[in-house]
Every structure is written in structure tokens, then in C-alpha cells.
Amino acid sequence: MPININPHLGNMSSFSVAMLKTPPCLDGAKPMRHLRVPSEETQHWLEFCRNKGWLMPGAGVLTLEEGLKGIPIIDSAPNDGDEFWQGNSTFIAQGLTRGPEHWSDRLSKEILNQITHLLPKSHEIQGDVLIVKLDDEIMEFSQQIAQAMLEQFPSIRLVCADKGVVGNFRVRNLLPIASRDGNMTTRTKIKENNKSIWTDPAKAYFSARLSNERIQNLTSAIDLRSELNRKLRLCDPYAGVGPGIIPLILEHDLISHCYAGDLNPDAFELLELNLHDLISKNKLTEIDLVLKNQDARKWKNKQENINKIDFLLVNLPHDSINHLPELLPLLAKGSITKIRGWAIIERSELKNSENQIKNILNTSNADVKSIHCSEVKGFSSSKIFMRFETKQIIP
Ligand SMILES: C[S@@+](CC[C@H](N)C(=O)[O-])C[C@H]1O[C@@H](n2cnc3c(N)ncnc32)[C@H](O)[C@@H]1O
């Protein structure tokens, strides 16, 4: 996106200026010298100035009117009219310079000296909320840290300290520290695969790191539709704010029924918001949608939910395998069904988990067509986050 700026013209005639590229983080515009060159000679003059040591470090090339460019040059570069410039003129305009590479460079030297060794090495961004773990010892500088982050990341509205995971729903305890516009809400919109999803990192679970798994859900469901030659009945009883089902229900002619729920009432509220938004915006009126704020194991208690589902998602990583027996009654009978689930297990237990899942399916007399367990990522030094995908026919 070009940024129009108002150049300081010195004694030059008027022209409008736009940045050629928008650097990731731009500081305030500063007046600086530029060499006006024909656009097609930009590379030549950039190299020439760089070799001579005259290029202004960290400043961008300006795009000028009439096919001209402005190369940012340092004050001590030759004067206007010097023969080095081969007839090209120099001018002064607001240059756009990159800000510091790292947010911590925006802290005062005094603070930086005190806390360098305790600075957080990473942070997470969900929508316009930045989440960072701050050591207790540097909490007294949390305001300065948050302000530095707000300056560094123009798209961030709110900076929150992450105080760890709490409660049954394993939601983060977030302490809002500073907001760009006074709005302290942690509710935010994230974009995944070009779709907007409401989430709230202080109230509901959401991880952008699993977006690949969600893409694979889609491929796997499309394969099942080809095998069944009809639209699918989908169930995601641990749906969170809904990222797993959104790509599936948006796929043309893939889903006929969608049963989704979550036990966490805050996550459920966002799930409803996301799905009703999506369905009305995309006119998906032919999908039969049932949403429930309930324990996943209760879906089977209603007769109308039994033996319905073709494609089941089981995403409760600490308990997926334990809950599985109570979800199997939902699977359709007499045709291929698929389960895609995720579990946290000991690294050495991959084969055992496969056997455990096979045994659970066998107790429902399932004709097991395939079971694949694979590591998605490491979870801790001894544990892994694994995906299981099973294909079976329940008689
Ligand atoms: C790992 S998250 C997965 C959320 C979502 N599927 C995703 O991919 O972002 C697990 C979800 O299960 C919900 N949950 C926990 N226990 C549950 C239960 N017994 N029944 C239904 N949902 C439960 C949590 O609130 C959480 O939203």
C-alpha cells in the first residue's frame, strides 16, 4: 500500500511522493536528502551510492511523479550539481526510515541495562492482541515494554501478559497491560486461510499452529465424500471457536449436517457467533446446523444424534482417547466413517496408542479399514502431539 507523504521541498518545485515499498515498521518521517533519478536507473544509482558510502542506511526509495525515483542519501554526499551526479539533481524530502529491528531497542538505555537478561524471547499474536510471558522480575516495567511493543507493531491494539494456563478449559490467564486506543477487550478477529474468526485468547482455546491440520481435515473429508458419493454429516464436539469446521462447511457441497459444540460457555458463544456469521454471509442455508454448549460425551444421549455421523473430529488432546468410546455411538452404521483426532502422548507410546484406539473400535465391533497415528509436533521433552486418523465401518 503506497503511503503518501508531504515532502519538505526546500527550494525545489512541487511533486507528490509515495514509498516504493512499505517496510515492516516505519518510524516517523524525517527530512533527508535524496537524489532524483530516472526509474530505470534506480538499481545503478543505489549501487553507486552504496559503493561510495553515500546511501542513507535503512531509508526507502521514494517513488516520484513522471517515472522518477528518489534515492535517500546522507548529508555528507556531494552537493547538488556535483559532477558525480551526472546531471541528476538532489532534493530534500521527508524520508521514511525503518524503525529499530527489535521492539526492545525502543526501551530507554537505563531500562534495557537493568532487564536485558530477562527480556522475553518470543511472543504470540492473535488478531490485534499480542501475548507475552513476562518474568515477575520485569513486571514493574510492563508498561514500558507494552508501549515499546505497540510502537513496534502497528497492527497490535492490546498487549497482554500471559500468566499461564488455568481451569478445566485450559484457557490462558491474560493480564491486559496497555491498549493503543483504550479498548482493553481481549476479544479479537483472527484470519485463517482468508477467513475471519472471532476468538478471545483469555476465554477460549485457539491455536494458529494447527491450521495445517485443519487443511488436512478438508482433504480427508473430500476423500470421504468421494467414497460415499454424497455430502457428509460432520460432528466436532470439541469445536472451540470453530476453526476446525469452518473450512469444511465452506467447501461447496461437502457437508449436509454439522453438529458442533463445546463445554466452555465462552468458547461456545464465539462458536455461535462465528458460525451464524459465516452461514448468513455465505448463504449456507442448506446445511443443517446443530450447536450445543455441552460435554461431548452427552451428544450420544439424544436418540436423534445416534448413528448419524460420517466424519468425526476429536480434539481434546489430553483426553481424546479416553473419550473415544463415548463418541463412537454417534458414527453412522453400515458405511465408511472417519475419525480424525489429536492426542498428547509419551513419545514412546505411538504404537501403543494405535493399538489402544484399535481396541476401542473393536469393542464397537467396527470393521477397521485403517488406523494411522503420526506425530504432528513435539509437546515436551518426552511427549508428542499426535494425530490419529481411522477409517471403519460400524456394523
Ligand atoms: C484443544 S481445544 C480444541 C478447540 C478447537 N477444536 C480448535 O481446534 O481450536 C479443546 C476444546 O474442548 C473443549 N472441551 C473441554 N472439555 C470438553 C468436554 N468434556 N466436552 C466438550 N468440550 C470440551 C475446550 O473448551 C476447548 O475449546
Q: Is residue 241 located within the same domain as residue 353?
A: yes
384 and 301 share one domain:
yes
Residues 129, 40, single domain; the answer is no
Same domain, 119 and 225: no
Q: Is the CB of 238 under 6 A from ligand 1?
A: yes
**Assigned domain for 251 exists:** yes
Q: What is the CATH number of the domain that holds 319?
A: 3.40.50.150
User: Which of 361, 358, 356, 359 has the alpha carbon at shortest distance from 327?
Assistant: 361
Please compute, for residue 229, the number of CA atoms within 13 A of its CA located in the half-sphere on the CB side: 0
Query: pLDDT digit string (tens) for 126-165?
Result: 999 999 999 999 999 999 999 999 999 989 999 999 999 9
Query: Is residue 241 domain-shared with residue 113, that is, in the same domain?
Result: no
Could you tell me if 142 and 44 lie in one domain? no
> For residue 107, how many other CB atoms are within 10 A of its CB?
21
Q: Is the CB of 260 under 6 A from ligand 1?
A: no
Tell me whether residue 69 is in a domain: yes
Looking at the structure, tell me whether residues 330 and 246 fall in a common domain.
Answer: yes
- pLDDT score for 25: 42
CB-ligand 1 contact for 316 (6 Å cutoff): yes
Out of 46, 73, 95, pick the residue that ends a domain.
95
86 with 108, same domain: the answer is no
Q: Cα(299)–Cα(327) distance, rounded to whole angstroms?
A: 8
Cα first-last separation, the chain: 58
Residue 195 in any domain: the answer is no
Shared domain check, 301 and 280: yes
* pLDDT tens string 250-302: 999 999 999 999 999 999 999 999 999 898 888 888 999 999 999 999 999 99
Our answer on whether the CB atom of 315 is closer than 6 Å to any ligand 1 atom is yes
Rounded distance, CA 89 to CA 348, Å?
70
201 is a domain residue: no
Clarify whether residues 28 and 147 are in a common domain: no
Choose one of 197, 198, 205 to mutate for the ligand 1 pocket test, by most ligand atoms within 8 angstroms of C-beta. Answer: 205
Would you say the CB of residue 169 lies under 6 angstroms from ligand 1?
yes
Query: What average pLDDT score do residues 85-108 get?
Result: 89
Same-domain status, 11 and 141: no
Q: Which of 151, 186, 221 is the last residue of a domain?
A: 186
Which three three-digit cell numbers place residue 129?
Answer: 492482541
- Ligand 1 pocket, 56 CB below 6 A? no
Residue 198 falls inside a structural domain: no
Cβ proximity of 102 and 121 under 8 Å: no
Tell me which residue has its CA closest to atom 23 in ligand 1.
263
Q: Report the atom number in ligand 1 closest to the C-alpha of 313.
A: 6
Read off the amino acid at residue 49: C
Take residue 369 and report the three cell numbers written for it.
479399514
Determine if ligand 1 sits within 6 Å of the CB of residue 357: no
Q: Which domain holds residue 357?
A: 208-393
Pair 160, 131: CB distance under 8 Å: yes
89 and 116, same domain (yes or no) = no
Taking phi first (over 0 means left), then psi (-120 to 50 degrees means alpha), and beta for anything else, what does residue 334 get?
left
Total structural domains within the chain: 3
Cα-to-centroid distance, 269 and ligand 1 (Å) = 13
Confidence of residue 29 (pLDDT cuts 50, 70, 90): low
Ligand 1 and 249: CB distance under 6 A: no
